[in-house]
Amino acid sequence: MSKKPLILITNDDGITAPGIRALIEVMTTLGDVVVVAPDSPQSGMGHAITINSTLHVEKVTIEDGQQLEYSCSGTPADCVKLGVKQLLDRRPDLCVSGINHGSNSSINVIYSGTMSAAIEAGVEGIPAIGFSLCNYNWSANFEACKSYVKTIAENVLKHGLDSGIVLNVNIPNLEQKHIKGIKICRQAKANWEEEFDKRTNPQGREYYWLTGKFVNLDQGEDTDEWALANGYVSVVPIQFDLTAHHSIQQLNTWTFGD
């Protein structure tokens, strides 16, 4: 008898976040689930790992269910490393991260703890998906996400992913009846126009608060930003090989003193 797929779940909003609870609900219909997630919010941590302090893991019960759950003191990437290397009794067939409270489209992918957890699984050769809902509210409604999360995860379990590829999935903040479907996209060219708001605390010490606005510089209709703005779930295949292969030939024309 074949075993059910083993699915590792993590996130960056913390193990009690509503988004990860929705993700667990969906994934338990597809396989055996093990959750390894941060014990506190880790948004914006990118691919940070813990190297200068100890890591602590505790088995927890957040809700009744068949899944094993572990709360970890580390980052999202730490959670995947510990899950794969220490806590799971076999190699997972799939790693899913999220559902994040807020968008991880376009340039946000490089800052995202959600996506870095998925990328860490990809580095290990495990098919991986990061899911995000474009709503930062803690009490966001994740019901409209569930059918799309299930469909995409089912396809990855069935077809697999090419080596070195991870999926970045963003879901518009719409009722399900208003979501038009799924679009495979490229990452839009965009950035953050950032400022630091200089303030003074009650003790007279100066501090800075990061502010800014997101600016989409890309008018293409094949991007994640276009898809989301037009009511589609965006699916972007990303790679963790950061080599700019198209620049190698040009750099080989430079003279380095030999």
Q: What is the mean pLDDT of each run of 10 residues along the chain (258 residues)?
A: 85 95 97 94 82 92 84 95 94 96 93 95 97 94 96 98 96 95 95 86 91 84 96 97 94 87
**Which tokens is 75 given?**
């980052």
Q: Structure tokens of 65?
A: 């269910």
Q: For residue 195, what pLDDT is reported? A: 85
User: Parallel, antiparallel, or unpaired: how do β-strands 165-171 and 232-239 relate?
Assistant: antiparallel
Amino acid 211: pLDDT:
84
The candidate with the shortest Cα–Cα distance to 27, out of 7, 2, 4, 3, is: 7
- 3-state per-residue secondary structure call for 5-50: CEEEEECCCCCCCHHHHHHHHHHCCCCEEEEEEECCCCCCCCCCCC
What local confidence, expressed as pLDDT, does residue 193 receive?
Answer: 81
Q: Please report where in the chains the tokens 């699916």 appear, as a residue.
A: 235
Separation between Cα atoms, residue 238 and residue 165, nearest integer Å: 6
Q: Are 43 and 130 in contact (CB under 8 A)?
A: no
Q: Are 166 and 237 in contact (CB under 8 A)?
A: yes
248 is written with which tokens?
């190698």
Alpha-carbon distance 135 to 174, whole Å? Answer: 9
Q: Would you state the pLDDT for residue 1?
A: 38
Rounded CA separation 6/90 (Å): 8
Exposure string of 99-122, with b = 16+ CB inside 10 Å and e = fewer, is: bbbbbbbbbbbebbbbbbbbbbbb
DSSP for 183-194?
EE-B---EEEEE
Cα separation, 251 vs 147, whole angstroms:
47
Torsions phi, psi for 46 (to 5 deg): 55, -140
Rounded to two decimals, the pTM is: 0.92
CA dihedral angle for residue 228, residue 232, residue 237, residue 243, rounded to 10 degrees: -30
Q: What is the pLDDT of residue 218?
A: 86
CATH, domain range 6-241? 3.40.1210.10
- Count how many Cα atoms sit within 13 Å of the Cα of residue 51 in the half-sphere of its side chain: 3
CA torsion 10-11-17-21 (nearest 10°) is: -40
HEC sequence for 110-150: HCCHHHHHHHHHHHCCCCEEEEEECCCCCCCCCHHHHHHHH
The enclosing H or E element of 82 equals: helix 76-82
